[in-house]
Every structure is written in C-alpha cells, then in structure tokens.
Structure 1
Amino acid sequence: MSVNLSKGADAPIRDLTRILVGLGWKAAGEDADLDASALLVSGAGRVLTDKHFVFYHNLTSPDGSVEHTGDDRTGSSGGDCEVIRVDLAEVPGRCARIVFAVSIYEGEVRGQTFGQVRDAYIRVVDETTSAELIRYDLTEEASAYPAVIFGELFLHRTGWRFRAIGEGHSGGLRAIATVFGVDVAS
C-alpha cells in the first residue's frame, strides 16, 4: 500500500536496495520540456562531485548508483514522464541525501513556470515488484517557479527515508545545481 505524503513529511524505504523514482506531470498550453535530475549530496549540503549531478547530459553517477533512464520531451506518455533508478546499496558512503528536482528547459527565457503544469508528482517504486511505496503530489505553492525540488532520499540512523519537499526555485536547473555546489559552465 502506497503512502501519500504532504509537503515536509517523510516515510521510510524499508528493506529495499533497488528503487525507481518516477516523476510525472502534464504540461498545459505551450510546449514545455520538463527535465528530471538527481544530485548526490554530502552531509555538508554539497554535491559529491560534478559527476554526481545526474541529468539529461550525465545519465549515470560515476559509481552507477543513480541512473536517469532518459528524457521525455513531451510529458504526454501517461504514467511517469521520467524515471531515475537508484541502487541504495551502491550509493557512496559519503552521500547523505539524493535530491530530486524537475526544471522546465529554458523556462526563464520562455516565461514558463510550474503554474502551467498540472498533476505533477514524485513517487518511489520497488523496482522488483513495481509496487508504488510512496507518493507526493506537488501543490500550487511552487507555481511561480521554473524549477522545483520535488523530494529527497536521505540517510537516517534507521536507514533510507524519502521526504516530500516541493520547493520552487527561480533560475531553473542552473540555480538548483549552483545551490548544491555544482560547477556550472557558462
């Protein structure tokens, strides 16, 4: 049975090592290309290395623990628009969190925000059984932004947990990457 989280709430990932993080949405109106990404972050809040920023130009972390399965440019496929595989057993020991974000490609330039996106969600799925374990449906609070941190996996003393975040960011994917210390080339 799936746990539906509200913003700020968290739930455990029990006895699993291989999970899928599915992100979905429906873009209303103008064509919008939304992109999911993941950042493997240390306890100090910085990405482990720039290669631990997994997105459409870097589909797999160096250790293979996080893999983006590819870009859905339309968001109209039904079900998850983009999926990120996570093997928790392979996540480097110095990683305290894996942050999941979605940004609208060139959203700032085109004036596109999450106010033009419907039914956005993030969910955690058992890769072996395909059973949905945890789900968070994004609220309207992030509607003014072109990029949103949907949620994160974090290492708790009792094991991995998932937290719903729903935090909007101006400046798109570049801004989120910069917050976590990614060296973003011009």
Structure 2
Amino acid sequence: MAVSLTKGQRISLTKSNGGGLTKVRMGLGWDPAPAKKSGFFGSLFGGGGADEIDLDSSCLLLDTQKNLLDVVWFRQLQSRDGSISHSGDNLTGAGDGDDEVIFVDLTRLPANVQSLAFTVCSFRGQTFNEVGNAFCRLVDDTNDTELARYNLTEQGAHTGVVMAIVSRDGNGGWQMKAVGAPSQGAIANDMMPAVLAAL
C-alpha cells in the first residue's frame, strides 16, 4: 500500500517483498483549477480559470557536493547515461492519472549520482493559482506498485515547485522526501536554488 506523504516527510523506499528497488517511475499530474465565477458576466462566460495548463516535469541529477550533473526534461528526454527517460511533454494537463512520467533505472544510475530532484514548472508562466490537483507518485516499475504519493495542496503566484527528492540513504537503498517548495521558474535549471535549499 502506498504511503501518503506530508510536506517535509521522508520515507525509506523498498519493494513490497523487502528487496531493493531496481526500476521506478515518478508520475506527475495536475489539472486546470476550477474557474472562479464572479458576477453576472462571470456566470455567463465562465470566470478566470484556465482551460489548459502546460506544466513541465523534470528530474535534476546531483552529486554528493550538490553539483548539477544532468537534467531530464521535455528538451532532453533522456539522461546522458541512459538511466532516466521522460515520457514527453503534456501541454494541457487534461485527463486523469499521470500527465508526465519520468522513468528511472536505479541499477544504471552512475555511482556519483546522490539525489534526483523532481520538479514541475510553467514554461508559459502560468502560476499555481491556475493549477489544481497537483501530485507526484513514485511507482515500482517492475510490478506497478505505488510506493509513495504526495498531493500538493498549496496554490500561489509561483511558477514552479520542487515536488520530491529521491536520494541514496547510505545503506545501498533509497529514500524519498516530499518537498512541495514553491519557486519561480520557467525551465528546470531555474529550479536549482529551491532544489539546493530542499536537499
């Protein structure tokens, strides 16, 4: 059964049978926030909500010194070492379930990769006041078991969020931290100050 995380909470990641994880995927989802109708014309024409929200998920790879090693996002759908891949750009947030997915083969990650920071940001500059039902969930990709989920409840005028960080735990395993840190960013690299603060 998946663990529902609260902001700042860390959990150790293991397979349901107690073994080590080999392949995981981080699913990120969101919807346009419900329109806020106001006044007579608002009720006629619908009020201020957006019909489409173009958020971009990314994975930043960092070493133990917190140096950025690589970035997987919609303009680079695979890490240079081939261990991480991106499902591609979702331009609307429409539909149920994961809008974008980042696949990670933990067995192929280079030994110098200490942390994976999963972020979401708005390339078009739409703010999280226009976003509803944002979440990230980590899934064991070998058996489709959801390990952990973090639902983002905060809205605001920010354009990016550090959703979660998956890092080595020092014992040969991995842990996940729910972050939910707001930031201003249009592309993945803009998120680095918030990522460094969350590590």
| Fold in common (TM above 0.5) | yes
1:152 to 165, 169, 172: 165
Q: Deviations over 1:38-59 (max 9, x none)?
A: 01111121211xxx21000100
Q: In the alignment, what sits opposite 1:184? A: none
How far has the Cα of 1:7 moved from its partner? 0.6
Distance 1:180 1:23, change over 3 A: closer
Q: Distance in 2 between matches of 1:90 and 1:20?
A: 14
Following superposition, which runs of at least 4 residues in structure 1 exceed 6 angstroms of deviation? 178-181
Kept in 2: contact 1:144–1:168 (CA 8 A): no
CA gap 1:171/1:128 in 2 versus in 1, 3 angstroms: closer
Equivalent residue letter for 1:165: V
Unaligned runs of 5+ in 2: 15-19, 34-48
Gaps of 5+ in 1: 182-186
Partners in 2 of 1:71 and 1:82 — Cα distance? 7
Aligned to 1:7: 7
| 1:37 alignment partner, SS class | strand
Distance, in Å, in 2 between the alignment partners of 1:16 and 1:150 is: 21
Asked if 1:22 corresponds to 2:35, the answer is no
**Aligned residues of 1:25 and 1:120 also touching (Cα < 8 A):** yes
Which structure 2 residues correspond to residues 1-186 of structure 1 after superposition, within 5 A?
1-14=1-14, 15-28=20-33, 29-30=49-50, 31-48=52-69, 52-107=70-125, 112-140=126-154, 143-158=156-171, 159-173=173-187, 174-177=189-192
Give the structure 1 partner of residue 17 of structure 2.
none
Kept in 2, the 8 Å contact 1:32–1:105? The answer is no
Residue-pair matches, total = 173
| AA matched with 1:19 | V
The question of whether the paired residues in 1 share the 8 Å contact of 2:183 and 2:194 is answered with: no
Partner SS state of residue 172, structure 1: coil
Letter aligned with residue 32 of structure 1:
I
Distance in 2 (CA, whole Å) between partners of 1:132 and 1:115 is 28
TM-score between the two structures when normalised by the length of structure 1 = 0.87
1:139 deviates by: 2.5
TM-score by length of 2: 0.82
1:180 to partner: Cα distance: 6.8
Shift of 1:177: 4.6
CA distance in 2 between counterparts of 1:178 and 1:9 reads: 20
Structure 1 CA distance for aligned equivalents of residues 193 and 74 of structure 2: 17
What letter matches 1:138 in structure 2? L
Q: Which stretch has the larger CA shift, 168-177 or 83-92?
A: 168-177
